[in-house]
């Protein structure tokens, strides 16, 4: 008998959990082809497989759900079917060799990703050929079984099963997904699906994705009634997802999943696992529950699988469970997750308008997003000139463009009471990336009779925000929940008194900052000098850096910035180059910014760029990004 089927006859098996959820947590984009990551980021995929193996999974699913010709064609990768499927199985094999455990490799096959016109012979044959092409590679690469999952069209699933039966002798687990009414999207019921799949010769009939464990139990009950002796599989989502700041979050905890193991087994499930929203912590909890169930069976002792402790799993996989099932407000922002995952982050600045509408700024943010920006940062009345409130513009951008923002938040205009009130309001509106600033004094701007407040400076503001993240206000009173702010601080490597700037910067980051954004610089040596002095005085540099890049528009613009704008210092070489550019100043400014960016991104701790358009010329500023690779603009950094 086939080893997988023999093992399945002896005891229930535990499959792994979500792959997409984990990749998004690492910084992958929902727009990219996730299957391509087996080539572009094999370490990410292997690390996730390893985490599930360490959590106690018996089956590891190859990262090939969408690696069929039709789905890959959406990304121009239809000629990569063999390469991606073969590499994906190889990655699981590598993990199996490292762990030394008898892990089963499930060659994962999903639907073709389009509605199939079954009365069209040519289309029907093309779909069958696509399944055959993928299955053939999975079989050749060394999969132990085929896992067809998340199918909602029974005819499509039957076609895939027929191709597999004709091609190879691998065991088949065929799993469908059901809506809240208990039917597939094509209108089939669980009893009809179960009967037809068993007739088609599958070895295990399953249900996956759909909703959470409780509704899945009802579907499993129907399937078990139709085929009481057939092995079934159950892999639910971690509850019904909620969309928070452009991401889906799932409420079901690992402990809750563990409680469902025995009911699943009681209804005939011989394979249990997780789908969307589940993490290695969910699988670990299910492993412990499964082993407890097996140990209680009379006369059939089974050795428990060695499971990694929470402290042995990679930190991000442990913490992710809290992100997915805890309070929305305390989850790390998307920006912070990208920084932690090592992505090269692109931020583009938008200045609020001196008007009652912000159409140009909204369009600028939309263009920046299309060029690969991860986040839009919004200044707070820069140069102390009256403009629309930064929080109002942040809210509009997040609502209308669906991209995170960084709110420049100054202490200039707010008392201690107002600082806390506005931060609470920003958090409630979903604006949770904060750049803590002291702010330009009113004497610089157009409202010189305005009174500055400055109850605290930026150092004090960082401490206030950090205290909110602990669930307290600055008086030490409980806030009822922890905040989830991501805190940035500014640093200025161009300051003449570099030692004073380094000391002040250290006070800021020591208060709880997550990353820093620099003033625009035009000479990479300035950053090297700043970094060297910091490490000489305080040791290892503590946070990721987004380097400020402000493309110059011409010699007059360069001269103005150098001589009249606080915090911006140009080199003599830069000024001379802009003078020589003459009427070609804009093009030369973009070229200089591109050269600077390529050099800066290779420097220690630089993990992103902070682009500052001049005069609202977002298109010109975003041209700087064209020098980056598509991966750096839409996926992950390679440096």
Residue 590 has which token pair?
A: 């973009």
* Residue 388: CB atoms within 10 Å: 19
Average pLDDT, integer, range 306-331: 51
Distances (CA, A) of 48 to 34, 51, 325, 332, 575: 13, 5, 19, 20, 49
- Residues 513-552 have pLDDT tens digits of 999 999 888 888 989 999 999 999 999 899 999 999 989 8
Burial 21-42 (b: 16+ CB within 10 A, else e): bbbbbbbbbeebbbbbbbeebb
Distances (CA, A) of 91 to 50, 139, 314, 414, 505: 10, 15, 18, 54, 43
Query: Which residues touch 321 (CB under 8 Å, ≥6 apart)?
Result: 253, 254, 279, 281, 282
Q: Are the CB atoms for 593 and 581 separated by under 8 Å?
A: no
Q: How far is CA 222 from the centre of its chain?
A: 36
Give the orientation angle of helix 121-141 with respect to helix 154-167, to 10 degrees: 50
Most confident of the ranges 143-157, 230-244, 345-359, 573-587: 143-157
Average pLDDT, integer, range 256-276: 95
110 compared with 332, residue with greater pLDDT? 110
Q: What per-residue confidence (pLDDT) applies to 328?
A: 45
Query: For residues 393 and 630, what is the distance between their CA atoms, to the nearest angstrom?
Result: 29
Q: What per-residue confidence (pLDDT) applies to 456?
A: 87
Looking only at the bridges linking them, the beta strands covering 145-151 and 172-176 are parallel
Strands (E), 340-485: 345-350, 375-378, 404-410, 433-437
- Residues 424-445 have pLDDT tens digits of 999 989 899 999 998 877 655 4
Query: For residues 493 and 561, what is the distance between their CA atoms, to the nearest angstrom?
Result: 16
Percent of the chain with pLDDT strictly greater than 90: 55
Lowest-confidence segment of 130-144, 275-289, 299-313, 488-502 by average pLDDT: 299-313
Mean pLDDT of the chain: 87
Query: Which residues touch 417 (CB under 8 Å, ≥6 apart)?
Result: none
Q: What per-residue confidence (pLDDT) applies to 212?
A: 84
Distances (CA, A) of 344 to 316, 466, 484, 598, 602: 18, 25, 22, 12, 11
Query: For residues 382 and 361, what is the distance between their CA atoms, to the nearest angstrom?
Result: 15
- Please check the confidence at residue 451 and state whether its pLDDT lies above 70: no
* Rounded (5°) CA angle 402-404-410: 135
Q: Are the CB atoms for 541 and 535 separated by under 8 Å?
A: yes
Query: Rounded to 10 degrees, what is the CA torsion of 430, 435, 437, 441?
Result: -70
- Please check the confidence at residue 624 and state whether its pLDDT lies above 50: yes
Q: Are the CB atoms for 438 and 458 separated by under 8 Å?
A: yes
Q: Are the CB atoms for 552 and 585 separated by under 8 Å?
A: yes
Distances (CA, A) of 108 to 33, 173, 568: 16, 10, 54
- Residues 364-392 have pLDDT tens digits of 999 999 888 999 999 887 765 788 999 99
Q: What per-residue confidence (pLDDT) applies to 302?
A: 62
Q: What per-residue confidence (pLDDT) applies to 386?
A: 82
- Residues 196-226 have pLDDT tens digits of 999 999 999 999 987 788 889 999 999 999 9
Lowest-confidence segment of 81-85, 121-125, 285-289, 452-456 by average pLDDT: 452-456
Q: What per-residue confidence (pLDDT) applies to 326?
A: 39
Distances (CA, A) of 6 to 3, 85, 175, 235: 5, 26, 20, 21
Q: Confidence band (pLDDT; 50, 70, 90) for 175? A: very high
**Domains in the chain, CATH or no CATH each:** 3-326 (3.20.20.330), 334-634 (3.20.20.220)
Distances (CA, A) of 545 to 119, 487, 600, 602: 57, 12, 10, 12
- Of residues 427, 346, 359, 420, the one with CA closest to residue 391: 427
- Residues 396-412 have pLDDT tens digits of 999 999 899 999 999 88
Query: For residues 431 and 245, what is the distance between their CA atoms, to the nearest angstrom?
Result: 9
* Residue 394: CB atoms within 10 Å: 27
Query: For residues 579 and 575, what is the distance between their CA atoms, to the nearest angstrom?
Result: 6
Query: For residues 474 and 477, what is the distance between their CA atoms, to the nearest angstrom?
Result: 7
């Amino acid at each position: 008998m086939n080893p997988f089927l023999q093992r399945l006859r002896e005891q229930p098996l535990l499959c792994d959990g979500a792959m997409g959820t984990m990749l998004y947590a690492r910084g992958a984009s929902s727009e990219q082809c996730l299957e391509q990551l087996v080539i572009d980021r094999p370490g990410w995929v292997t690390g996730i497989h390893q985490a599930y193996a360490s959590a106690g999974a018996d089956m590891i699913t190859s990262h090939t759900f969408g690696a069929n010709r039709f789905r890959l064609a959406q990304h121009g990768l239809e000629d990569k079917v063999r390469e991606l499927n073969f590499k994906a199985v190889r990655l699981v094999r590598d993990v199996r060799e490292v762990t030394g455990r008898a892990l089963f490799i499930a060659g994962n096959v999903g639907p073709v990703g389009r509605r199939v016109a079954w009365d069209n012979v040519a289309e029907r044959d093309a779909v069958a050929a696509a399944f055959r092409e993928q299955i053939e590679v999975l079989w050749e690469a060394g999969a132990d079984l085929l896992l067809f999952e998340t199918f909602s069209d029974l005819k499509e699933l039957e076609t895939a099963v027929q191709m597999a039966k004709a091609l190879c002798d691998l065991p088949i687990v065929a799993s469908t997904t059901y809506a809240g009414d208990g039917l597939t999207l094509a209108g089939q019921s669980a009893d009809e699906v179960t009967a037809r799949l068993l007739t088609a010769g599958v070895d295990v009939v399953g249900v996956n994705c759909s909703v959470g464990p409780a509704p899945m139990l009802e579907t499993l009950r129907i399937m078990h009634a139709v085929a009481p002796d057939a092995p079934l599989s159950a892999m639910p989502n971690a509850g019904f997802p909620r969309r928070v700041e452009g991401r889906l979050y799932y409420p079901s905890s690992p402990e809750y999943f563990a409680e469902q193991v025995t009911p699943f087994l009681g209804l005939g499930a011989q394979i249990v696992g997780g789908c969307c929203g589940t993490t290695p912590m969910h699988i670990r909890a299910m492993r412990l529950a499964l082993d407890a169930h097996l140990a209680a069976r009379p006369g059939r002792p089974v050795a428990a699988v060695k499971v990694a402790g929470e402290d042995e799993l990679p930190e991000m996989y442990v913490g992710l469970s809290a992100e997915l099932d805890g309070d929305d407000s305390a989850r790390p922002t998307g920006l912070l997750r990208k920084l932690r995952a090592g992505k090269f982050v692109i931020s583009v600045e938008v200045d609020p308008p001196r008007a009652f509408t912000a159409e140009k700024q909204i369009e600028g943010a939309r263009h920046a997003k299309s060029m690969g920006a991860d986040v839009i940062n919004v200044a707070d009345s820069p140069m102390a000139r009256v403009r629309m409130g930064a929080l109002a513009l942040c809210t509009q951008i997040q609502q209308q463009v669906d991209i995170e923002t960084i709110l420049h938040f100054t202490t200039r205009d707010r008392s201690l009471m107002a600082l806390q009130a506005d931060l609470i309001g920003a958090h409630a509106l979903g604006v949770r990336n904060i750049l803590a600033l002291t702010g330009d004094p009113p004497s610089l701007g157009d409202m010189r009779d305005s009174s500055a407040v400055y109850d605290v400076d930026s150092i004090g503001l960082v401490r206030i925000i950090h205290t909110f993240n602990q669930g307290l206000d600055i008086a030490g009173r409980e806030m009822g929940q922890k905040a989830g702010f991501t805190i940035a601080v500014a640093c200025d490597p161009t300051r003449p008194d570099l030692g004073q700037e380094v000391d002040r910067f250290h006070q800021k980051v020591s208060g709880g900052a997550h990353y820093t954004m620099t003033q625009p610089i035009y000479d990479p040596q300035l950053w090297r000098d700043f970094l060297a002095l910091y490490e000489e005085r305080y040791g290892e540099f503590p946070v990721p850096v987004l380097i400020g890049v402000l493309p110059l528009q011409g010699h007059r613009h360069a001269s103005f910035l150098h001589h009249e704008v606080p915090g911006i210092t140009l080199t003599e070489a830069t000024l001379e180059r802009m003078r020589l550019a003459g009427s070609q100043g804009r093009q030369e400014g973009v070229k200089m910014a591109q050269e600077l960016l390529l050099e800066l991104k290779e420097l220690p701790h630089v993990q992103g760029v902070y682009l500052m358009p001049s005069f609202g010329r977002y298109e010109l500023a975003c041209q700087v990004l064209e020098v980056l690779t598509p991966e750096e603009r839409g996926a992950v950094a390679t440096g």
